[in-house]
Amino acid sequence: MFSGALQDLADELALLPGVGPKGASRIAFHILGAPEDEVGRLIEALNAVKEKVRLCERCFNVAEEPLCAVCRDPRRDQTVICVVGEPKDVIAVERTREYHGSYHVLGGAISPIRGIGPDDLHIRELLARLGAEPVQEVILATDPNIEGEATATYLARALRTLEVPVTRLASGLPVGGDLEYADEVTLSRALEGRRSL
Amino acid sequence: MFSGALQDLADELALLPGVGPKGASRIAFHILGAPEDEVGRLIEALNAVKEKVRLCERCFNVAEEPLCAVCRDPRRDQTVICVVGEPKDVIAVERTREYHGSYHVLGGAISPIRGIGPDDLHIRELLARLGAEPVQEVILATDPNIEGEATATYLARALRTLEVPVTRLASGLPVGGDLEYADEVTLSRALEGRRSL
């Protein structure tokens, strides 16, 4: 490119997830032609996220106050804890509109390859919550991949002595999918978890 | 989403070209977790583009000084003008490393549907350049689509009286493509423009 500033912007944009070099240069040109106030709002929004957003003191979900919106909501059943890996997983569960309990965000998953052990996640804080709060059920909703399963297995073992019911999200065939295209592991899980009708 | 600031950022990001709602929320979470200085550099780059980048007084390419880098370069052949639609087309031509002349950026293409006529483009300025500069060749490198072709046709007619050689980029089969998948129009053009070997 010709303009140093445009190239600098494209370089920075290319660091964002899902934005390749072509997309970055397309966005840079869009910014060049965009009205001042649109760019101003984008810059303000970037600043606001870094300044305002923090983690909930209780569940480590994203929040703009000491407690997140779920923890502050008296209509939510605070005796049920859904344990997820990341704040974005909270959004995925919320999108179902079927869950009305609280959350606990681990901040990742156990991964020996990336050097992430149980002490790097908010597991100690989960155990502290279970000691202090009258919890009726812990739902392990970590990702259904190797790291998420390893984390769920670790947690199930760690929670065994606490006499609180621990459940895991069902694995099986995705709704709307084709049996033909299901991978063996998913199909095996679906068979294992079959229900009587 | 839970946090107003995160949602605001995702909303702003979703306005960018090529960024959908899912990509926007992924980028918003990335920003949340990104180091302060990475976000700072992005904000600075956004500001710099709006503050520093302007259009070259001679060719309307992007520039950070009155003249763009190509117009200022004494090694470029300033007697050849490659006419393109947008500044990003300059980048595409530069990427070939085969062109060593100057440019003229029209700032769009003639499009009756969008209400863009010749007077909305930098065509008057091109004619003024041709009157004032010792131009040896004008290469019409507008897009090979309907609007670009219409613009090239208009320019060819407008330049006819000036006795300067006017050429158009060749249309034909893209290198590396399959004959089988070529559309009829491209294949017709490739036939028309066939060369003896």
Distance between CA atoms of B87 and B108, rounded to whole angstroms? 10
A193 band by pLDDT with thresholds 50, 70 and 90: confident
Mean pLDDT, range B101-107, rounded to an integer? 96
Q: Do A18 and B27 touch (CB under 8 A)?
A: yes
B169-181 pLDDT, tens digit each: 888 888 887 888 8
Strand order in the sheet with A166-168: A101-105, A77-84, A137-140, A166-168
- pLDDT per position as a tens digit, A26-82: 999 999 989 999 999 999 999 999 999 999 999 999 999 999 999 999 999 999 999
Question: How does DSSP classify residue A85?
Answer: S
Share of chain B above pLDDT 90, in %: 73
pLDDT of residue B33 exceeding 90 = no
Q: State the distance between the two ends of chain B, measured CA to CA, in whole angstroms.
A: 63
Interface mutation vs chain A, best among B53, B59, B60, B68, most A CBs within 10 Å: B53
Can you give the pLDDT at residue A190?
81
Which A residues in the span 148-167 are in contact with B, Cβ-Cβ below 8 Å? Answer: none
pLDDT band for position B43 (50/70/90)?
A: very high
- Which residues are bridge partners to B138 per DSSP? B81, B166
Question: Do B5-52 and B74-168 agree at the fold level?
Answer: no
Q: What is the pLDDT of residue B128?
A: 96
- How far is Cα B56 from Cα B126, in angstroms, rounded to an integer? 13
List C-alpha distances in Å: B68 to B128, B135, B140: 18, 18, 20
Per-residue pLDDT for B123 more than 90?
A: yes
Indicate the domain borders of chain B.
5-52, 74-168
Predicted local distance difference test score (pLDDT) of residue A3 = 67
Cα–Cα dist B67/B63, whole Å: 6
Neighbours of B195 (CB within 10 A): 6
Chain B residues in contact with A17 by the CB 8 A cut-off are 23, 26-27, 30
For range B27-38, the mean pLDDT: 92
Average pLDDT of span B52-74:
94
Give the residue from A19, B63, A18 showing the smallest Cα distance to A10: A19
CA gap B197, B190 in Å, rounded? 15
pLDDT value of position A166: 93
Among A50, A86, A94, the residue with its CB nearest the CB of B39 is A50
CB contact under 8 A, A30 and B16: yes
Give the per-residue pLDDT at A174: 83
* % of chain B at pLDDT higher than 70: 98
Residue contact A43–B39, C-beta within 8 A: no
Cβ-Cβ pairs closer than 8 A, A with B, add up to 162
Mean pLDDT value across residues A95-113: 93
Indicate the pLDDT class of residue A111, thresholds 50, 70 and 90: very high
**Sequence letter at residue B68:** C
pLDDT of residue A185: 84
pLDDT for B2 equals: 58
Full DSSP string of B7-70:
HHHHHHHTTSTT--HHHHHHHHHHHHHS-HHHHHHHHHHHHHHHHH-EE-TTT--EESSSS-HH
Residue B115: count other Cβ atoms within 10 Å of its Cβ: 7
Fold of the domain built from segment(s) A74-168: Dna Topoisomerase Vi A Subunit; Chain: A, domain 2 (3.40.1360)
pLDDT in tens, B17-27: 999 988 999 99
Task: Return the residue matching tokens 């998948």.
Answer: B181
- Give the per-residue pLDDT at B104: 97
pLDDT tens for B145-196 read 899 999 999 999 999 988 899 999 888 888 887 888 888 888 888 888 887 7
Residues 6-35 of B with CB under 8 A from A: 6, 8-9, 11-13, 15-19, 23, 25-32
DSSP A43: H
Residues A105/A141, Cβ–Cβ less than 8 Å: no
Assembly ipTM: 0.77
Contacts of A68 in chain B (CB under 8 A): 2-3
Q: What is the rounded CA–CA span in Å between residue B31 and residue B10?
A: 10
Report yes or no: B69 at the A interface, CB cutoff 8 Å: yes
Closest among A192, A197, A89 to A141, alpha carbons compared:
A89
Question: What is the average pLDDT across A121-148?
Answer: 94
Helix (H) or strand (E) holding A152: helix A146-159
User: Which tops the pLDDT comparison, A124 or B173?
Assistant: A124
CATH for A5-52, among 3.30.200.20, 3.40.50.1860, 1.10.8.420, 3.40.50.720? Answer: 1.10.8.420
Query: Please, which residues 31-60 of chain B have a Cβ atom closer than 8 Å to chain A?
Result: 31-32, 36, 38-39, 41-43, 45-53
Q: Is the CB of residue B175 less than 8 Å away from at least one CB of chain A? A: no
Q: Which long-range contacts (CB under 8 A, 24 or more apart) does B107-112 make?
A: B107/B60, B109/B85, B109/B142, B109/B143, B109/B147, B109/B148, B109/B150, B109/B151, B110/B147, B110/B150, B110/B151, B110/B154, B111/B147, B111/B150
How many residues make up chain A in this entry? 197
Q: Of the candidates A26, A28, A88, which has its C-beta nearest B49's C-beta?
A: A28
Under a CB-based contact definition with an 8 Å cutoff, are residues B33 and B24 in contact?
no
Tokens 């583009």 belong to which residue?
B49
